[in-house]
Chain A
Amino acid sequence: MENNRNNLTIETDVCVIGAGHAGCEAALACARLGLNTVIFTVSIESIALMPCNPNVGGTSKGHLVRELDALGGEMGKNIDKTFIQSKMLNLSKGPAVHSLRAQADKANYSHEMRETLENQENLTIKQGEVCEILFDEDGDNKIIKGVRIFTGTTYLCKAVIICSGTYLNARCLCGEAITYTGPNGLQAATYLSESLNAMGVTLRRFKTGTPARMDKRSLDFSKMEEQKGDERIIPFSFSTNPDDIQKDQVSCYLTYTNEETHKIIKANLDRSPIYAGIIEGTGPRYCPSIEDKVVKFADKERHQVFIEPEGLYTNEMYVGGMSSSLPEDVQLAMYRTVPGLENCKIVRNAYAIEYDCLTPGHLTLSLEIKGVSGLFSAGQFNGSSGYEEAAAQGLIAGINAARKIQGKEPVILDRSEAYIGVLIDDLVTKENLEPYRMMTSRAEYRLLLRQDNADFRLRKIGYEVGLVTKEQYDYVLYKDEKITAEVDRLKNTFVGSATKNQEYLESLGSAPLRTGTSLAELLCRPEITYENLSFFDKEREPLSEDIIEQVCIRIKYEGYIERQERQVAAFKKMEKKLIPDDINYDDVSSLRLEARQKLKLFRPLSVGQASRISGVTPADVSVLLIYLASIGK
């Protein structure tokens, strides 16, 4: 690069590094908020690439997509355009854990997103590897000035958003075969890590993996269980009309590993780079390789394998549940023991990938990096995993980069407002030792953070930010009014114990009425649905599905919801106790050493956040509270 005489300089407002799921959302948000934005990618073909599983959503991830959509993000709309099968998971469980998941046509998903980017006003797509981040220094603080790409061209800007995914110093492993490439054999980014290190932004190694893809013609689906989509498809996006997306769906298939499979894996463990110690990165526990599953859960006789189509116009099938970094010969032998895969042909081998990502302590809740004004980051670079986690962060980083340039306060969602809030708080506050995946068990106030009410929770914020139209926001207000009125009406409409009423209840297997009971009380009985109530309530105004759903949830789960709201009130109190930016923890006497070190590293914004840092005890929190009061905060 030293001999490069290209000194082309281009001015813009925001540079987004990477065009994966985080990068696309970040760039679209900035452009839509009126800023000139350039999005860089090593290959135009890799925009919104899905290099692993061919689906969007799933438990808790579906919630993220809904929330992102309510805020004005793109992922929900894009999957609504390109899904080939859709399913609402956990329908037998409570409404808080219903989760939407759709199989995507990968190529189409990528293509549609690219088209959206290409047609977005204020947005420029540029193919090129960003090698260096440029900054000015102002005392201890650094201020973003721009980026330089491999050709030597400089882009001057006010904010940079790093969405580098798994590309930084990427290394792919398939048994003994190692390549220094990004996912799908794409070019890795080999310069940026060094530039970041030089700025004092330290990195660590994470690892993830993906299973093989197989030729559909070589598989015998008669030996597997067919898995169909839902009859009535529910869209991801609040702005997609459900009637517009009902269509024929493709199936997925379920099969299982067996003892023979496990025997082959165990016999070849010494050739797995992980067990041979070649892989240094930390891998995720929630999507373990098949080697890991067989070793850790040795008493399990079989593991599920999901065969999922990669798209409508390809023969490639994704083999979910069997990611691996074993060598090709072992892979083929092991796959061929599985019913239906006896004659399988592998199109792409399973592999593990290692990459650089941020060490804990650098991030703030606005997703700006500490000490570098104007440098934001999102996605796997921040230590997360998953398309949805990446997209959610991308949107927030994009919004906050734009707001910073426009001199506005950042948008920070807390743990009681959104899964996105839980996700970012966990990434910022915890020392996650593996790629972080969203899980419903991570959300303390799950009952309030449902996928069905993401619009109530977040449309308003999206509207105020400027990514949601007035019409979209007004619909939420209208809906809320209707729901409140109907809940009120059901609570105040009573049913008598006339014989025909008793007979009807008996036919539903429900206990007879003693005295006047409200419709709401009846609805609380597990066996009674809103539909059933029409027997007693002939004159009622017809309401839309989404409104009925909310009415039922509010009435049936009222007690639990109120309890959770009380917990939230207590939580908010601590979140509101802010810690000043310039606090010197050495001045806070009586803090234990470990707590002092952790607080210095993470520099929490509030006492609530401080209390979630591992190593900070309740006693330390008390000490901190008293100190803050003593300095008049």
Chain B
Amino acid sequence: MDTIAAICTALSPSGIGIIRISGEEAITIADKIFKGADKKKLKESDSHTIHYGHIVDGNEIVDEVLVMLMKAPRSYTMEDVVEIDCHGGILVLKKVFNLLIENGCRPSEPGEFTKRAFLNGRIDLTSAEAVMDLISSKSEMARKNSVSMLNGKMYELIKNLREEILYYIAKIEAALDDPEHMSLDGFEEELQEKINNIQEKINQLIKSYDSGKILKEGINTAIVGKPNAGKSSILNMILNEERAIVTEIKGTTRDTLEESYDIGGITLNLIDTAGIHESDDVVEKIGIERAKSAIEKADLVLYVADSSTETDVFDDQIISLIDGKKSICLLNKSDLQRETTKQELNAHFEGCLIKPVILYTSAKNGEGKEELFEMIKEMFFAGEISFNDEIMVSNLRQKNDLVIASDSLKKVSESIENSMPEDFLSIDLMSAYAALGEIIGEEVSDDLVDKIFSEFCMGK
């Protein structure tokens, strides 16, 4: 089996991060980027030993690390396994991981280490069943994630690039299958120009992944609650500005609003959502659906309840939506006459997986604001909330796929330069098409044949 790598620790700003590599080439690849203090190659070292040294990129030292060596079959996956303990924080961790990928590792799929452990006979049937569930749910989730995290613009961009590539493959293939009806005269110049164009766009995307996107990512924080509980006011309180429109009419926030705010070095991506309740208003309904999806994507939920009114069935509905999510409950409008107390609200969380902390806040006079910030920081540094590392992996995988696509297009250009016949061009065009498909979660399947028939008039 090929060699896989993954960042095993959550991508939080804790000091140590662990990267694990498994597979036939694990030790060879590690040796390419690890320089041991004792100058000894890992390949020549005994199993189950720890090595101190540096990860290097050419001559440049990337990080000071400890490397653990576990040779097959005495490892979790029963393959050769290398674990690298990095010390330089998230960016360095990511850099080391990228080096491994450049040297021949593949980013692992969700649950893949466990899958290998099972396939190689390391864990038993009961564990295996759990893993099956994990894989089917996780890869579905990863797929959703990787698609959802692409913003609409980027998704469109990749989709369009794919469409263009497919058109050219189909054109070549149609001409190969029906040479008497279709000619490819002068096609190469046209294709070369197109390839340059597409490749440039892909390379720009690759750059955007390299430029420390991780720092921008931050913690996705959804603000949810019933209409008029004061969600938008809380957003304004955190931001210290009048960002969201606040009125006393229920349902003013019809869509989600997004803002970033930095508290003591931690970036919060704040998402203000429409109030969750029953609505016949179409626009508002869409807003509510978006609120639900914002909860799904969030790393942290701020649930805003109104202390000046009594709780009702919609509060329970919201509570069930946020169950299992890391959340903080803000009992807002503490400046008004209190109708709901912490204890009363707490009772609604009976039977939930996680019981959130409840704070009294007043968006009007700023009560609870500092307390909220302290709590978020505390949770973050305790590792209770973190970046969604699933997304990070998808992120790296996407970059990897972009590199494959770009390399494939380079090969097409080389083939054109060497005057290779057209059928050789479609081989690498197809690889580029497949790699871009991985990013947006679409497979190759029968696209090509359909495209040929829809675009070109074939046959007898």
Residue numbers of A with Cβ under 8 A of B are: 53, 59-60, 89-90, 92-94, 96-97, 211, 285-288, 293, 296-297, 300, 303-304, 306, 320-321, 323, 430, 439-442, 446-447, 526, 557, 560, 563-564, 589-592, 614, 618-620, 622-623, 625-627, 629-630
A-contacting residues, B395-421, CB 8 Å: 418-421
Q: How far is the CA of A341 from the CA of B389 in the complex (A)?
A: 70
Interface string of B108-143 (1 = CB under 8 A from A): 010000010011000001001101110111011001
Of all chain B residues, the one with the shortest Cβ separation from A94 is B421
Known pairs A288-B459, A441-B452; list 13 more (Cβ under 8 Å).
A93-B179, A94-B420, A287-B458, A300-B457, A440-B177, A441-B176, A441-B177, A447-B424, A447-B427, A590-B132, A590-B136, A618-B139, A625-B119
Given contacts A560-B424, A623-B135, is CB(A287)–CB(B460) below 8 Å?
A: yes
A619 and B448 within 8 A (CB): no
A560 CB, nearest partner CB in chain B, Å: 6
Q: Which of A297, A560, A614, A630 contacts B446 (CB 8 A)?
A: A614
Residue numbers of B with Cβ under 8 A of A are: 109, 115, 118-119, 125, 128-129, 131-133, 135-137, 139-140, 143, 173, 176-181, 418-424, 426-427, 445-446, 448-449, 452-453, 457-460
Q: How far is the CA of A60 from the CA of B178 in the complex (A)?
A: 10
Q: How far is the CA of A590 from the CA of B419 in the complex (A)?
A: 50
A626 and B135 within 8 A (CB): yes
Which residues of chain A have C-beta atoms less than 8 A from B457's C-beta?
288, 293, 296-297, 300, 303
Nearest first, the 5 A-B pairs at minimum CB distance are A94-B421, A441-B173, A619-B139, A590-B136, A285-B453
Q: How far is the CA of A625 from the CA of B132 in the complex (A)?
A: 10
Which residues of chain B have C-beta atoms less than 8 A from A442's C-beta?
449
Q: Which of B118, B173, B177, B421 contacts A629 (CB 8 A)?
A: B118
Q: How far is the CA of A619 from the CA of B140 in the complex (A)?
A: 7
Given contacts A94-B420, A560-B424, A630-B125, is CB(A622)–CB(B460) below 8 Å?
A: no
A620 and B136 within 8 A (CB): yes
Number of A-B residue pairs, CB cutoff 8 Å, is: 122
Q: Please list 23 pairs of residues, one from A and one from B, whose beta carbons are closer than 8 Å in the complex, sorted by A's number.
A: A59-B177, A89-B180, A93-B421, A93-B423, A97-B421, A285-B453, A287-B460, A304-B180, A320-B460, A439-B173, A439-B452, A440-B177, A441-B449, A446-B423, A589-B132, A590-B136, A619-B135, A619-B139, A622-B115, A623-B132, A626-B119, A626-B131, A626-B135
Q: Which of B125, B135, B459 contacts A622 (CB 8 A)?
A: B135
Q: How far is the CA of A67 from the CA of B426 in the complex (A)?
A: 24
Given contacts A59-B179, A92-B421, A590-B132, is CB(A286)–CB(B125) below 8 Å?
A: no
Of all chain A residues, the one with the shortest Cβ separation from B185 is A92
Which residues of chain B have C-beta atoms less than 8 A from A92's C-beta?
421
A630 and B128 within 8 A (CB): yes
A58 CB, nearest partner CB in chain B, Å: 9
Which residues of chain B have C-beta atoms less than 8 A from A626's C-beta?
115, 118-119, 128, 131-132, 135
Of all chain B residues, the one with the shortest Cβ separation from A563 is B427
A160 CB, nearest partner CB in chain B, Å: 32
Given contacts A440-B173, A442-B449, is CB(A94)–CB(B424) below 8 Å?
A: yes
Which residues of chain A have C-beta atoms less than 8 A from B420's C-beta?
94, 526
B445 and A614 within 8 A (CB): yes
A90 and B129 within 8 A (CB): no
Which residues of chain A have C-beta atoms less than 8 A from B427's C-beta?
447, 560, 563-564
Which residues of chain A have C-beta atoms less than 8 A from B422's C-beta?
93-94
Q: How far is the CA of A97 from the CA of B457 in the complex (A)?
A: 20
Q: How far is the CA of A59 from the CA of B446 in the complex (A)?
A: 19
A278 CB, nearest partner CB in chain B, Å: 23
Which residues of chain A have C-beta atoms less than 8 A from B128's C-beta?
626, 629-630
Which residues of chain B have C-beta atoms less than 8 A from A591's C-beta?
136
Which residues of chain B have C-beta atoms less than 8 A from A622's C-beta?
109, 115, 135-136, 139
Given contacts A94-B424, A285-B453, is CB(A53)–CB(B460) below 8 Å?
A: yes
B179 and A89 within 8 A (CB): yes
Q: How far is the CA of A591 from the CA of B132 in the complex (A)?
A: 9
B118 and A589 within 8 A (CB): no
B407 CB, nearest partner CB in chain A, Å: 12
A310 CB, nearest partner CB in chain B, Å: 15
Which residues of chain A have C-beta atoms less than 8 A from B176's C-beta?
59, 90, 93, 97, 440-441
Q: How far is the CA of A304 from the CA of B445 in the complex (A)?
A: 31
Of all chain A residues, the one with the shortest Cβ separation from B420 is A94
Q: Which of B135, B178, B180, B458 has most chain A Cβ within 10 Å?
A: B180
B63 CB, nearest partner CB in chain A, Å: 33
Of all chain A residues, the one with the shortest Cβ separation from B178 is A59
B453 and A590 within 8 A (CB): no
Which residues of chain A have C-beta atoms less than 8 A from B423's C-beta?
93-94, 96-97, 440, 446
Q: How far is the CA of A64 from the CA of B246 in the complex (A)?
A: 72
Q: How far is the CA of A60 from the CA of B109 in the complex (A)?
A: 37
Of all chain B residues, the one with the shortest Cβ separation from A445 is B427
Which residues of chain A have C-beta atoms less than 8 A from B119's C-beta?
625-626, 629
Which residues of chain B have C-beta atoms less than 8 A from A285's C-beta?
453, 458
Q: How far is the CA of A304 from the CA of B128 in the complex (A)?
A: 60
Which residues of chain A have C-beta atoms less than 8 A from B458's C-beta?
285-288
